[in-house]
Structure 1
């Protein structure tokens, strides 16, 4: 029997494990082969009504300060999560995402992420890849988020 399509609200309820404050640590692959450190606090909270999840980012990538806000919703037509991020450099980024069991996948035009939530819901570990030319994907960042 085929699964029923998710409604926006039922799909968003599946993101409940993300809600809370997370310590993010990782390594960024630099073009010269040297790794840079990534440290951040990521906070996820519901917009009242439960149709959108708000993600705040406050961190550092190497020497650079990173601040961002992301709004996550669900597109019933595509059956995928949709996100829009706004950062302190004036960059707006749109992604599509999927959650299959504990696997969280984010897909953008030049960036993508594949990660896994821990069984206890207290960790998220994964790899970001970058395709500056939109074709050839290269490892960009390895990250681990740990819930406070």
Structure 2
């Protein structure tokens, strides 16, 4: 991976808004049976040489638990107008999702049981995400809120 790798296509170039190292902070939403959990750490996005795949690394603590994730995003799929996402974590979980971006620059990440809306500030130095998930039913429930501040 190199810092000067560029996106391979204009469509993949939309992912450049994510590139960099971000300080991650947030919390899960309390439920009647579980308290809210604090989330702190970092997210890093960088291009794999060639510019077809964006590598996303997550290194956070959720309360006292360490969570590490590596995710590959891309390349852009013109048929679905989305970016495939495949993530693997240190708990042995594997998740597939699809990312899309609207004309206002708002990103949606959607999987079978979880989804998020990511808004990148105009200055590209902060992002906010609202996550939802499905738990034992058909309804989406507010799961967590995250804020990301660009470090580099």
TM-score by length of 2: 0.88
Structure 1 runs of 4+ off > 4 angstroms? none
- Distance in 1, matches of 2:136 and 2:107, equals 24
Alignment-derived partner of residue 24 in structure 2:
24
Q: How does 1:3-42 map to 2 (within 5 A)?
A: 9-31=9-31, 32=33, 34-42=35-43
Q: How does 1:1-148 map to 2 (within 5 A)?
A: 9-31=9-31, 32=33, 34-73=35-74, 74-100=76-102, 101-133=104-136, 135-148=138-151
- Distance in 1, matches of 2:106 and 2:43, equals 19
Alignment-derived partner of residue 3 in structure 2:
none
For residues 85-126 of structure 1, the C-alpha deviation after alignment (integer angstroms, 9 at most, x for no partner) is 000001000001111232011101010101210000111112
- Distance in 1, matches of 2:106 and 2:136, equals 26
Change (3 A) 1:19 1:34: same
- Distance in 2, matches of 1:146 and 1:99, equals 20
Aligned residue pairs total 141
- Structure 1, unaligned stretches of length 5 or more? 1-7
- Distance in 2, matches of 1:142 and 1:116, equals 12
- Distance in 2, matches of 1:30 and 1:109, equals 22
TM-score by length of 1: 0.90
Change (3 A) 1:44 1:134: farther
Please report how far the alpha carbon of residue 33 of structure 1 lies from its aligned counterpart in structure 2 after TM superposition: 5.2
Alignment-derived partner of residue 3 in structure 1:
none
- 1 or 2, which has the higher strand percentage? 1
What is the CA RMSD across the aligned residues, in angstroms?
A: 1.4
